Amino acid sequence: MTSESLARSVVDSLVGRGLNDVEVFLKSGRSRRFEIGPQGRVASSSQEEGWAVRAGSDRASLFVAGTGRPALDGPWPDPDGLPLRLPPAARVPPWRPPADLEAPLSGETEAIRLLEAIEKGVSSELAGTRLLRGLLDEGSSQTSILSSRGIEETYRSRAASLFVEMAGPWPGAQTVGIAMARRELRSFHAPTIARRFVDRLLLQGEGESPERDRGEFLLGPALGVRLLVALLPLTVGGGSGAMVRALRDRQGRIGSELLTVTDDGRYRGGVLEAPVDGEGRPTGESVVIGEGRFHQSLVGWKEATRSDLVASGCVRRASWRDLPKVGPSHLFLAPNPEVKVATLLTAVARGYYLIDTQGSGQFDLEQDRFQLPVCGFALRQGRAAAPLAGAWLTGSISSWLRGIQGVARDLEFEPWSGMIGSPTTLVTGLELRRSP
Amino acid sequence: MSGLDATAVARCLSQMADHGDDLADAYFERLEEVEYPAADEEPGIRVRREEGFAIRLVRGGRTWLAARDQIAATEFGEALRQVARAQPSAPYPEPTLDRAPFPPLEDTSCLARFPTLVTRAIRRQLAAFPMRLRVRRHRRWIRVIGTQLAPEPQSESFYSCDVDLPWGRFGVLTPDLSAATVERLATSLTTLFRAQEAPRVEPTACRVVLGPHAAAVLLHEVVAHALETDTLMMGGRVESALGLQLGGPLLNVLDDPTNAPESVRRSSDDEGMIAARRWLLREGVVEQPLADLFSARHSKALMPGAARRGNRHRSPAPRSTHLELLPGESSMDDLFAEADGGLYFPEVSSGRLDPLSGRFTISLPYGKRIKAGSLGELLGPCRLRGTVSGLLSGIDAVGRDLESAGAGWCAKNGLKLPVWASSPAVRIGAAEVES
């Protein structure tokens, strides 16, 4: 019996037991993992297969998940708790699967070569630097969703992730870690990653912080990403009304006209690109903030039916074990394709180019304030004047949003809860401090 | 995990491990999690059941691992061939893996009742506040078979509880859902609620008394993580840590999985090695770091038996299972008596250690001021910062009353593992506290 026909039989069987709404989720895939670290070199390969069933009547519901394939006779526990309503089928716009789905997963030699190239690239500029841990994961999978409400979708995905942790050669050096995700392991560019490490490590070793300073801030993609991550309570879920009202100015804007934030489950070339979301609803582009004005947060089908919001096709499952949950797929601050980073850089007469964060920092949406440890360079007349590290970028979140004066074209995504992306931005109205 | 033909599995592994110092093993696991969500969450009861295995070959400094999401002879043969691909080809007969079906779902009524009992206990403490409580029962069965080793199957059973509160999240691990667990959780939640209006701690360096729970979490972060061989290897040679005076003479810290609460007690680790009472610190001196087979093969001074696996898809790593701080001689009154003007912290919400610099941060959800030998006003959330050596050498008194405390999820390097502990309270001479 094929997986799809088995799923159909499970749906029919549970409907026959009085559960009106039944959904079967199937996922299978292969993955490879390569690691260099204290445990030597580890090469792992996994074949994974799992399923999940959500089912309910108008009185109670259940969720069961397991490895392998579901059995017709369960065992199914007695439904409990709240009733369950599943989304109805909707027309799914045509989707062209990415060409790289057919590409084979990378081998051990290729993966180890990449990690060694990163280490070599860093060591050649900064002798004595140590690679503490390098981790590469790559996998491909097939997902099927079938429900008693007419949903029947199957699609394939692939993703690769990299995590590297290094330490500088000087005593008391703290670790520097970089996490990235792409569709293919072959997309990771060792010299670029090595460059980023060299910058971070050098800044950690040589940078200093002013006691307190203001000016123009050129914020690298990593900082824009961190801001968007902090804004997730505002951009995800329908309960963000009070937070939005608190951030609005007299013109009804929450940010500069250059601030447009979009989520797109079909982002071309994106790690999470898919035709449907975790409930089988069509994905697409949703504008959360357009030219500084808040449009609407990302909501699922159920929340949209209870309000005047539009469902965004943004319900995701972290794995087959997990329940679907509203979340971003590719949430990003829209870049300006006309503007190079260099153009913004040369425009800074006196300020700072902050290239990375040095910790998670603290963002308080209710109190409208943040503190973020950062590193980068002091800028004078568009040129790097001194290395900067151990500094805290501080201010109000609303000042950050309203202070965006320029947006470049270098959009970069980072793996957080979904892929979060930002280009370099030019911001005013913030402050640097030596201590938070 | 009955029905596995250990002899046939060992024979297959022996064929693959054809170099003198090869290590080969097969790890079989089954997991079951039953969850009752918060009252306003759908769907209702949630059951997750999974099983699978991993085959591992370690040769020199390299490890190959192949994992599957089912326990079946064909998949076992495939995985075996995959791991052995780097070796000369050899026939690998598929062993019989006639495993028994999953046991039937046990009665879950205690899970269903638990949220109501906690709410009632909170009301008895004259408090009421919105919260969303999820409770889960976790069960795990594992079997490790090596080329010459097939220890008894192991099993664990425990509960976890997550509570969403308007001011944050709170979680506990517990071996049971007894009345005492209900009361302890209700007290923690009620104190957290009351601490929201409490004044903040001004940044200060002062005497601090940590309750058994907070002391256990602190020791997990600053002793157990610091003495895991994968952490020590990041800093250089593991052997150089042996004999190091890490803390004062009052500190006797052990990891003893054989003395953990009964439902999570272990006689062997996740590599099938005998789990033993391991002195991490004896009178403050490093004696035996937490080691797995990989690190023990590279140093004769290390004793394996502390390996844990997050799941079958990940290779094992050295971690603590049940941490113990041996009691001292001070009563709580003694600890408070010499900490006038200091602070008392009974709980810890999270902790983090930078393995290279040895700096740590512990987040404390609330505290109390110590005045004239007793507890005074309630204080809001704050943090404790410092270095491992500074903190451990600053412990100047250890309580005499040992409590089972400090259980929680450890999430180092993406491995989410339940950890258990028993500890008395401790007093630190001078600790950096900041709001």
CA distance A210 to A354: 14
CA distance B261 to B250: 25
State what percent of residues in chain A have pLDDT above 70: 100
Helix, strand, or coil here: B84?
helix
Based on the fold, state whether residues B182 and B225 are members of the same structural domain: no
Q: Which of A50, A63, A75 shows the shortest C-beta gap to B43?
A: A63
Number of H helices and E strands in chain B, helices first, is: 9, 24
Helix, strand, or coil here: A207?
coil
Pick from B148, B168, B195: which residue ends a domain? B195
Based on the fold, state whether residues B151 and B275 are members of the same structural domain: no
Based on the fold, state whether residues B158 and B228 are members of the same structural domain: no
- Cα–chain center distance at A166: 23
Each residue's pLDDT tens digit, B144-200: 999 887 899 999 999 999 999 988 899 999 999 999 999 999 999 999 999 988 998
Confidence category of residue A49, pLDDT binned at 50, 70, 90: very high
CA distance B342 to B26: 52
Task: Please judge whether B62 and A41 are an interchain contact, meaning their C-beta atoms are less than 8 angstroms apart.
Answer: yes
Assess whether pLDDT exceeds 80 at residue A80: yes
Domain ranges for chain A, please list them: 3-206, 212-433
CA distance A92 to A7: 20
Instruction: Write down the pLDDT at residue B2.
Output: 67
Mutation site, B31, B228, B229, B356, interface A, largest A CB count within 10 A: B356
Based on the fold, state whether residues B186 and B237 are members of the same structural domain: no
User: A178 touching B, CB under 8 A?
Assistant: no
The contacts of residue A5 (CB under 8 Å, 6+ apart) are none
Per the rule left: phi > 0, alpha: psi between -120 and 50, beta: everything else, A385 is alpha
Angle subtended by helix axes B179-195 and B109-124, to nearest 10: 50
User: A360 touching B, CB under 8 A?
Assistant: no
Least confident of A142-146, A201-205, A265-269, A326-330: A201-205
User: B41 touching A, CB under 8 A?
Assistant: yes
Q: How many of the other CB atoms lie within 10 Å of CB of B136?
A: 18
Q: Which helix (H) or strand (E) holds A402?
A: helix A397-402
Whether B315 contacts B414, CB under 8 Å: no
Pick from B195, B226, B261: which residue ends a domain? B195
Scored b (16 or more CB within 10 A) or e, A398-436 reads bbbbbbbbbbbeebbbbbbebbbbbbbbbbbbbebbeee
Instruction: Determine the average pLDDT of the residues in A361-370.
Output: 91
The tokens 């990299």 sit on which residue?
A162
Instruction: Write down the pLDDT at residue B89.
Output: 53
Pairing between β-strand A216-219 and β-strand A350-357 as defined by DSSP bridges: parallel
Q: Which of B352, B223, B351 minimizes the C-alpha distance to B289?
A: B223
Which residues of chain B carry a pLDDT beneath 50? Answer: 88
For residue B407, tell me if it sits in a domain.
yes
Whether B421 contacts B322, CB under 8 Å: yes
User: A200 touching B, CB under 8 A?
Assistant: no
Instruction: Determine the average pLDDT of the residues in A240-265.
Output: 93
Instruction: Write down the pLDDT at residue B92.
Output: 64
How buried is A104 (Cβ within 10 angstroms: 0-12 exposed, 13-18 middle, 19+ buried)? exposed
Each residue's pLDDT tens digit, B400-411: 999 998 789 998
User: A132 touching B, CB under 8 A?
Assistant: yes
For residue B264, tell me if it sits in a domain.
yes
Q: Which of B45, B315, B357 shows the shortest C-beta gap to A62?
A: B45
Based on the fold, state whether residues B179 and B290 are members of the same structural domain: no
Confidence category of residue A4, pLDDT binned at 50, 70, 90: confident
Pick from B195, B221, B255: which residue ends a domain? B195
For residue B330, tell me if it sits in a domain.
yes
Instruction: Write down the pLDDT at residue A318.
Output: 94
Return the DSSP state at B221: I
For residue B1, tell me if it sits in a domain.
no
Based on the fold, state whether residues B25 and B173 are members of the same structural domain: yes
ipTM score: 0.93
Q: Which of A45, A81, A173 shows the shortest C-beta gap to B356?
A: A173
Instruction: Write down the pLDDT at residue B167.
Output: 85
Instruction: Write down the pLDDT at residue A243.
Output: 87
Each residue's pLDDT tens digit, B190-233: 999 999 889 988 888 999 999 999 999 999 988 999 999 999 98
Instruction: Write down the pLDDT at residue A375.
Output: 95
Q: How many of the other CB atoms lie within 10 Å of CB of A117?
A: 16
Instruction: Write down the pLDDT at residue B251.
Output: 96
Assess whether pLDDT exceeds 90 at residue A240: no
How buried is A242 (Cβ within 10 angstroms: 0-12 exposed, 13-18 middle, 19+ buried)? exposed
Whether B379 contacts B199, CB under 8 Å: yes
Scored b (16 or more CB within 10 A) or e, B192-227 reads bbebbebeebeebebbbbbbbbbbbbbbbbbbbbbb
Based on the fold, state whether residues B10 and B147 are members of the same structural domain: yes
Based on the fold, state whether residues B306 and B408 are members of the same structural domain: yes
Based on the fold, state whether residues B175 and B242 are members of the same structural domain: no
Instruction: Determine the average pLDDT of the residues in A118-136.
Output: 94
State which fold the A3-206 domain adopts.
Answer: PmbA/TldD fold (3.30.2290)
Each residue's pLDDT tens digit, A6-40: 999 999 999 999 999 999 999 999 999 999 998 89
Residues in B closer than 8 angstroms to A48, CB to CB, are 69, 313
- Measured in angstroms, the CA of A27 and the nearest CA of chain B are apart by 12
Give bridge partners of residue A387 from the DSSP assignment. Answer: A377
Task: Please judge whether A84 and B42 are an interchain contact, meaning their C-beta atoms are less than 8 angstroms apart.
Answer: yes
Instruction: Write down the pLDDT at residue A139.
Output: 97
Cis status, amide bond into A75, omega within 30 of 0 = yes
In A151-170, the residues whose Cβ lies within 8 Å of chain B are 167
Task: Please judge whether B42 and A79 are an interchain contact, meaning their C-beta atoms are less than 8 angstroms apart.
Answer: no
- Which residue has better confidence, A333 or A5? A333
Instruction: Write down the pLDDT at residue B268.
Output: 97
Based on the fold, state whether residues B352 and B408 are members of the same structural domain: yes
**Residue B77 maps to which CATH number?**
3.30.2290.10
CA distance A117 to B49: 41
Q: Which of B46, B66, B317 shows the shortest C-beta gap to A63?
A: B46
Mutation site, A63, A161, A163, A366, interface B, largest B CB count within 10 A: A63
Mutation site, B50, B57, B228, B290, interface A, largest A CB count within 10 A: B50
Domain that holds residue B249: 204-434
Q: Which helix (H) or strand (E) holds B46?
A: strand B45-59
Q: How many domains does chain B have?
A: 2
